Structure 1
Amino acid sequence: MFSEKLLKWYDLFKRNLPWRTERKNPYFVWLSEIMLQQTTVATVIPYFGRFILKWPELKDIAKASLDEVLVEWQGLGYYSRARNLHQCAQLLANAFPQSEEELRILPGIGPYTAAAIASIAFDKKAAAVDGNVIRVLSRYYALQLPMPRKEVHQRLKKLLPNKRCGDFTEALMELGALVCRPKIPLCEECPFLETCKAYKLKNVESFPLKHLKEKMPTRYTTAFIICRQDGALWLRKRPSKGLLGGMMEVPTTPWIEVKNAKQKTCVKHTFTHFHLEATLCYRDKPPDRDGLWVHPHDFKKYALPTVMKKIIKAGLKEFESVQNSFDDAV
């Protein structure tokens, strides 16, 4: 039986992860699932550790300010997750709903995350379909569809056991992460070696079938480096909604897809759906009053996204002492 084989493998080979406690902690499960969206386990582990050290329980993070959460989140990317995390914590305060339907109403929780939390935290019979699960079942059944999420969801529901539903959910993801990897899968270590259809076809890595990727657009901006004599830099807060909402930045022109012929790209950065190329421009006075002076020694007190750290570091090359302070700060 599929579930029995999978759980037996999981009991032997599962990783010791900080959110996998013997007694399931819904707060830990929720926090880890939000952090793991579009992010690797290795990257998440230190962030998760810092979060639960600073905010051990749901009620603690509910009392925190959004700026505090954004500061701790910086570097993890996809900052809307942090804003939704904070909003969700404030709505819940003490306890989580247990059903998929109730969980999906909450900020930042979509179909997959709702199913994962219901299953892992509360042992509900819920089909959580992420990239690992799609890959494992696409190969197991040799599904001839590109990224067949709906088909995988239907098949997964039929495989769910009546007991240990949470362990089953984690086990399937774990198999995809450790054995049924995107490239160079370790088929000889898989508990389903004899029944995997893709393996029998000797074409494992071609599953799941992929859509042709569209070329990502490039956007362009001018970033203004405004540095005071004492080394402080002029920063402003981005609008609360939208990309990098509520985080700090140096002033920039709108990010558009038309490049000025005179612009010379100094910094390049890639987001999920577009590339950004920034030209640096130096000014000695702020363009407006909507901002504040921040010394590099104090950068850690503010939520600076990675793209802004790159722009600042490139921009401060002319101010060597300040750049060294920035290196120490970040």
Structure 2
Amino acid sequence: MVNILSNALADSFGRIHNYVRISVTDRCNLSCEYCKPDQAAAASSPQPLTFDEISSVVAVLADMGVTKVRLTGGEPLLRPRIEELVARLHDIGGIERIGLTTNGMLLASKARALRGAGLTDVNISLDSLQPERFARITGGGDVGRVLHAISASLEAGIERVKVNVVLMHGVNDDEIESFLQMTNKYPLDIRFIEYMPIGRKNEGWKAGYMPLSGILDRCSRAGWAYDAVPPEAANGSSLEHGLSTSATDSGPARYYRIAGAAGKFGLIDPVSKHFCMTCNRLRITSSGHVKPCLFWNDEWNVRPYIGKDELLKQLFLRSLENKPVRHEMLGGLKADGSYHPLQESTIRQMSQIGG
């Protein structure tokens, strides 16, 4: 066991945490197949943390070494005046990057204001380029609005624009080449993500799950030469497009670039090739519960300690002392195709955790 020294955000396995993801709302304006927000539950859930509370928590975390914050949901752009929160976080000493994860429905009109407030990164969910299929996956989403949001983010000068594609067998795996082609023209990070068994509604996970191991073969069969992008180069977008190449966290993706492409593509495979030993992130739900691991159910309520900085620091350290060495997403898959987690996995849906 590794001793936790001072206020460093280290867990019992020596992993240092410099990244926090904070949900600002349980609410969402879509209902994606792999997320399925329970709107009734969201309506009855506790009030989300206020901007004052979030700022206070981030200031404490910054004092403990956190340099990157990502605002999530639900859909974070449903939170009124979210750009004001971005500006407040931008003013906290030690915070170097501020990101936002969004479905893109409301982003186009807000991109410039968010960038002006200090937003450096945006992750935009886009699981299909086909309008009818996209509407079916998302429960009524408009793919045109998402594509507009991507363009608006690039035009606003947001330093790193990432497009997240949850790959599902028999649902959107026939669009891999179409997504790869987007990197040829645009300075984007297209990131393929394995479908994860998160929350109570994981009965259909086995049918939709597919590993990402075949994507590089698909790239080769299309006749595209590609090279791996070193982690230090993957941290930022190309200087040719006037975007920053410095970032404090490259995330779990392994990046590749098709020869001559403006952007790159990444593989995020938390199920088949877990990256738990390099995990550097904490998650805080909109109701104020810190989750040191996305998959397990363990969480601690930060709300009673806000404004009591030393006690709050001890709470974060205590949560990390209980962080497991790894998740067991794949371990619960049985020979008959059923899925039974080996331990008590989270009962929250992705929309409640904040990814």
The TM-score with structure 1 as length reference comes to 0.25
Compare the two structures and name the one with the higher helix fraction: 1
Name which one, 1 or 2, has greater alpha-carbon Rg.
Answer: 1
Structure with the largest fraction of strand: 2
Q: Which has the higher contact order (CA 8 A, sep 6+)?
A: 2
